[in-house]
Structure 1
Amino acid sequence: MSLEILLTNDDGIDSPGIRALYQGLSELGNVTVVAPATDQSAIGRAISNEVDVTEHELGYAVHGTPADCVVAGLSELCPSDCPDVVVSGCNKGANLGEYVLGRSGTVSAAVEAAFHEIPAIATSMYVPVDDTPFHEVQTAPDDYAHAIDATNYLVDRGFRSGLFDHAAYLNVNVPFANDTTETAPLEFTRPSSRYAMDASRDGQSIILHDNLWAEMDPETLPDPDGTDRRAVAEGRVSVSPLNAPQNVVDTDALTDLIDGFGPGDASNARLIQPED
């Protein structure tokens, strides 16, 4: 079966990661690239009212956000009215843990697709760094070998397995290939709940620190088995099947809180129940 695939990212249409996935996914079907014209990393699900679009050798460059790209691609730019799947990536840098799901532009593109009821996969690659600043690290096409293998497999087999009958999108994180010829194994995971953001002041500036990246040594990593961070640190491909809508909390504490509103008269409060 030849698939219709919408491919986007948040690193920008000229990044090596999106070209790597374009070449890999083209083996499975028709790939339409609709990606940001410039780097939109960590912009989350920001959306625009109007964006310019220019043609690019890979497809279309949108002067906007990853969410803009998904909406524009699904509504106007894809040759099919309904692509079979949206793929976002491959991002240079992992998107691990619960806290990045609303922050990452890569993952947010997949979430946007999920709200359109289109299956989606967000693929990111962990890039180990030593003393080199992350923005100075250069990646080559061969570095994305695990990303290509895992994404192609999940796109090709995901529909046949029925996985997307249960998950709206997959957050996939792969190890850096580093010229290896071995295939990294897949592991179904849950996003790690660890969080270690803080900030320090330097004169008139505040510098934000994500301290988790200094703790990726598998020998000392505190994240438990079954988490995305543990899998990637140990050289496996992390696949977290997720759903987009937030769950509504149903608790007696909320009922008591609503009933206590106003001067002893709960008629002043209205609790709107979500639609099924």
Structure 2
Amino acid sequence: MADPEILLTNDDGIGSTGFRALYDALSAAGTVTAVAPAADQSAVGRALSHNVEIHQHELGYAIEGTPADCVIAGLGTLVPDADLVVAGCNQGANLGSYVLGRSGTVSAAVEATFFDVPAIAVSLYVPVSEDTSYTDVDVDPSAYDNAARATRYLADHTIDAGVFERADYLNVNAPVPEQSGDGPAEMVVTEPSRTYMMDAERHDGEITLHDRIWELMGEGEIPDPEGTDRRAVVDGNVSVSPLTAPHTTEHHEALDALAETFPDTAD
């Protein structure tokens, strides 16, 4: 598609480094309008507001709300003719099926699908040590090179290639350049990992929640098999998972049988 109209949003806030990296990259692919949170809205999922304040911004619009608010406001009134929604680039990866519903970045892409607008969620894997949060790491703009390059490529080609005839949205995770070795990272089509390593520890009146997989990722040792998003990124590749909007249903004969016998259980 020549010169697509692109709505760009995120959950780190309109002033984040990753957001600007994608804005600059996508501006070479089409007309980009920012409709993004005025402040950090990380990990809010698809939380929704009723009324949101809007501010003019040099890149478009800053919204006092969540990523889902931004997509609804954008597609509903600010950029109603958008051909594509892009969310990101998030500082920190969004990998694994259990993470998808938590992520504001991914949730923005999901929200777009209900408008029948294709979407791409983009995140950067930031390797950290066991005792350091990725949010505490100062990420240089050049770290987003793989993410920006992959996002522009997908924005240029996916619609015309028919990708969104089967997928509702793409979840993209990119490595920092030092992970991918010499030259740009390769792109690998993946599915979200189902490995789950959350646990909890109680210390008197407080409970600490841990995601143990991040410790293993920092060491380069993970249980995830080939073909999963987490394995691809740890191996230095750009992971692209083609996904459908949540709550997709399938015919379920066992549940059908239970529904049929339900009246027989009435007192």
The TM-score bracket by the shorter chain reads over 0.9
Query: Residues 94 and 173 of structure 2 are in contact (CA less than 8 Å); yes or no, is this contact kept in structure 1?
Result: yes
AA aligned opposite 2:170: L
* Equivalent-residue separation in structure 2 for 1:23 and 1:147 (angstroms): 12
Query: Residues 218 and 234 of structure 1 are in contact (CA less than 8 Å); yes or no, is this contact kept in structure 2?
Result: no
Alpha-carbon spacing, 1:181–1:28, altered in 2? closer, same or farther (3 Å): farther
In the TM superposition, residue 264 of structure 1 has moved relative to its aligned partner by 4.6
> Equivalent residue of 2:227, what SS?
coil
AA aligned opposite 1:28: A
2:95 is matched with 96
Task: Say yes or no: does 1:234 pair with 2:204.
Answer: no
1:177 is matched with 177
Q: Which has the larger radius of gyration?
A: 1
Q: Deviations over 1:142-161 (max 9, x none)?
A: 11000110000000011221
1:37 is matched with 38
> Equivalent residue of 1:146, what SS?
helix
Task: Say yes or no: does 1:85 pair with 2:107.
Answer: no
In the TM superposition, residue 188 of structure 1 has moved relative to its aligned partner by 0.3
Query: Residues 142 and 178 of structure 1 are in contact (CA less than 8 Å); yes or no, is this contact kept in structure 2?
Result: no
1:125 is matched with 124
* Equivalent-residue separation in structure 1 for 2:250 and 2:238 (angstroms): 32
Query: Residues 71 and 111 of structure 2 are in contact (CA less than 8 Å); yes or no, is this contact kept in structure 1?
Result: yes
Q: Deviations over 1:154-197 (max 9, x none)?
A: 00011221111111100000001249761100000010011111
* Equivalent-residue separation in structure 1 for 2:166 and 2:195 (angstroms): 25
> Equivalent residue of 1:261, what SS?
helix
1:141 is matched with 141
> Aligned runs of 1:55-66 on 2, under 5 Å?
55-66=56-67
Query: Residues 128 and 218 of structure 2 are in contact (CA less than 8 Å); yes or no, is this contact kept in structure 1?
Result: no
> Equivalent residue of 1:260, what SS?
helix
Task: Say yes or no: does 1:106 pair with 2:105.
Answer: yes
1:164 is matched with 164
> Equivalent residue of 2:262, what SS?
coil
* Equivalent-residue separation in structure 1 for 2:53 and 2:182 (angstroms): 41
> Equivalent residue of 1:216, what SS?
helix
> Equivalent residue of 1:40, what SS?
coil
Q: Give the structure with the larger helix fraction.
A: 2
TM-score computed with the length of structure 1 as normaliser = 0.90
Query: Residues 213 and 222 of structure 2 are in contact (CA less than 8 Å); yes or no, is this contact kept in structure 1?
Result: no
AA aligned opposite 1:102: G
Task: Say yes or no: does 1:116 pair with 2:118.
Answer: no
TM-score computed with the length of structure 2 as normaliser = 0.93
> Equivalent residue of 1:75, what SS?
helix
* Equivalent-residue separation in structure 2 for 1:233 and 1:54 (angstroms): 39
1:201 is matched with 202
AA aligned opposite 1:114: T
> Equivalent residue of 1:132, what SS?
coil
In the TM superposition, residue 95 of structure 1 has moved relative to its aligned partner by 0.3
Query: Residues 195 and 223 of structure 2 are in contact (CA less than 8 Å); yes or no, is this contact kept in structure 1?
Result: no
* Equivalent-residue separation in structure 1 for 2:223 and 2:196 (angstroms): 12
* Equivalent-residue separation in structure 2 for 1:93 and 1:103 (angstroms): 13
In the TM superposition, residue 204 of structure 1 has moved relative to its aligned partner by 2.2
In the TM superposition, residue 262 of structure 1 has moved relative to its aligned partner by 4.4
* Equivalent-residue separation in structure 2 for 1:173 and 1:99 (angstroms): 15
In the TM superposition, residue 2 of structure 1 has moved relative to its aligned partner by 1.1
AA aligned opposite 1:76: T
* Equivalent-residue separation in structure 2 for 1:136 and 1:217 (angstroms): 15
* Equivalent-residue separation in structure 2 for 1:62 and 1:106 (angstroms): 15
AA aligned opposite 2:148: I
> Aligned runs of 1:48-59 on 2, under 5 Å?
48-59=49-60
1:271 is matched with none
Structure 1 vs Structure 2 CA RMSD: 1.8
Alpha-carbon spacing, 1:251–1:132, altered in 2? closer, same or farther (3 Å): closer
AA aligned opposite 2:194: S
* Equivalent-residue separation in structure 1 for 2:46 and 2:228 (angstroms): 24
* Equivalent-residue separation in structure 1 for 2:178 and 2:93 (angstroms): 15
* Equivalent-residue separation in structure 1 for 2:104 and 2:138 (angstroms): 20
Alpha-carbon spacing, 1:219–1:25, altered in 2? closer, same or farther (3 Å): closer
More displaced 10-residue stretch of structure 1: 227-236 or 133-142: 133-142
In the TM superposition, residue 207 of structure 1 has moved relative to its aligned partner by 1.4
